[in-house]
Amino acid sequence: MSTQLHTAPAAVPTAGPTRVPLNTLALPLGLAGLAQVWSVAASALGLPFELGQAFWLIAAIAWIWTVSVHVHRGRRTDQPFSHQLTHLAQGPLAALLPLAAMLLGAGLHRTVPIAGTVLTLVSVGAAAAFAAWILSFWMQGELPLESVHGGYFLPISATGLVGALAAAQTGLDWLAVGSFLVGIFFWLVISVFFFLRLALRPAMPSSLVPTLSILVAPPAVASAAWLTISGGRPDHVFEGLTAMTVFMVLMQVMLFPRYRALPFSLGFWSFTFPAASVAALAITWLHLLRPLAWQAITVGLLAALTLFVLMIAMKSILFHITATRGTTTAIAAKKQSSA
């Protein structure tokens, strides 16, 4: 595989259509996050088990469909897949694929334990292999600091923490602890480079601004993973990770005006999994503390997250239709002018 750094998609000319951007892989991950929240809420509220599993089925279909679209488009272009993996912006986003598969494995384990365990192990193994490769790729010494964005948390930190949660939910405690330590370590390491990039380099382009929302996911997922590893018993580690999540949520509130000014793009799916992670943690705390009207608050959180994901899905469909019409019009105009 080529290890040449790429800074723009145009670096490799293509004779046909380009590959589908890797940020679209956030779609099945966001839906898997939504399914996770429904499962947590169903357990807390005593809702039917099948209700949560229905959302896992939707997430699984979305995962298969997204992969199929990428494979189909990839066969129609001369652009090599290695170009996307070594692209400074897109490369780290490839980790979204095994990330979603880990959660799907944990969801499948609830109904088919053996298949769920196998899927979890395979996805964690694939994520580990990709993480090791991309880490060695970054260590070549040619990675400019301004190329770092929120997606750089995905290949190692996020996969470690999500892997810990999925492994713990499938009963693989040995894997859960190891994944948790890897995720925490690289969460700290990547955070240093990321905040240096934000402070010392020019502002991110608007297309990458949604990746700032990923900052809230590591502590939220780490909290859920640790609670599962510790057998559902909240301790000081769980409380500390929750406090970190609250601080990151507060920072996201401060970033809201910047998010609001962005034009819609498929990159908005980057908001879905972090939002789902926070919602799942909030519902867990509500179930543990059981304050006044905690069930009503849980239902409100569940409804708000579901509507949020549904809104992004609807806007994505409209965005795709508009983009397709624009491309068709441009091709027709080009043919007419050349006739």
Position 245 in a domain:
yes
Position 281 in a domain:
yes
φ, ψ of residue 174 in degrees (nearest 5): -60, -40
Instruction: Specify the higher pLDDT residue, 38 or 86.
Output: 38
- The predicted pLDDT at position 1 comes to 39
Query: From the centroid of its chain, how far is CA 133?
Result: 19
pLDDT band at 331 (very low <50, low <70, confident <90, very high): low
Percent of the chain residues topping a pLDDT of 90: 73
φ, ψ of residue 231 in degrees (nearest 5): 75, 25
Position 252 in a domain:
yes
- CB within 8 A of 46, min separation 6: which ones? none
pLDDT at residue 236 greater than cutoff 80: yes
- The predicted pLDDT at position 10 comes to 38
Instruction: Specify the higher pLDDT residue, 81 or 336.
Output: 81
Express each pLDDT in 314-330 by its tens digit. Answer: 999 998 888 777 655 55
Average pLDDT over residues 137-160: 90
242-247, Cβ contacts within 8 angstroms, sequence gap of 24 or more: 242/281, 242/285, 244/219, 245/216, 245/219, 245/220, 245/278, 245/281
pLDDT at residue 2 greater than cutoff 80: no
pLDDT at residue 12 greater than cutoff 50: no
Position 5 in a domain:
no
Average pLDDT over residues 150-160: 94
Instruction: Specify the higher pLDDT residue, 309 or 207.
Output: 309
Instruction: Specify the higher pLDDT residue, 203 or 115.
Output: 115
Write down the pTM of the prediction: 0.89
DSSP assignment of 93-135 equals GGGHHHHHHHHHHHHHHTT-HHHHHHHHHHHHHHHHHHHHHHH
CA distance 161 to 152: 14
- CB within 8 A of 42, min separation 6: which ones? 48, 49, 51, 52
Express each pLDDT in 168-207 by its tens digit. Answer: 999 999 999 999 999 999 999 999 989 999 888 888 888 8
pLDDT at residue 281 greater than cutoff 90: yes
Number of domains in the chain: 1
Express each pLDDT in 49-68 by its tens digit. Answer: 999 999 999 999 999 999 99
Position 169 in a domain:
yes
Residue from 104, 109, 114, 116 nearest 35 by CA: 104
- The predicted pLDDT at position 6 comes to 43
Position 13 in a domain:
no
Give the Å distances, CA to CA, from 24 to 174, 180, 276. Answer: 32, 26, 17
Tokens for 27?
């779609």
* Structural domain boundaries, residue 241: 20-331
- The predicted pLDDT at position 4 comes to 41
Position 316 in a domain:
yes
pLDDT at residue 124 greater than cutoff 60: yes
- For position 299, which CATH number holds? 1.50.10.150
Mean pLDDT of the chain: 89
Average pLDDT over residues 94-107: 96
Q: For 26-40, 100-114, 154-168, 187-201, which range has the lowest pLDDT when averaged over its residues?
A: 187-201
pLDDT band at 252 (very low <50, low <70, confident <90, very high): very high
Position 66 in a domain:
yes
Average pLDDT over residues 82-86: 87
Instruction: Specify the higher pLDDT residue, 8 or 22.
Output: 22
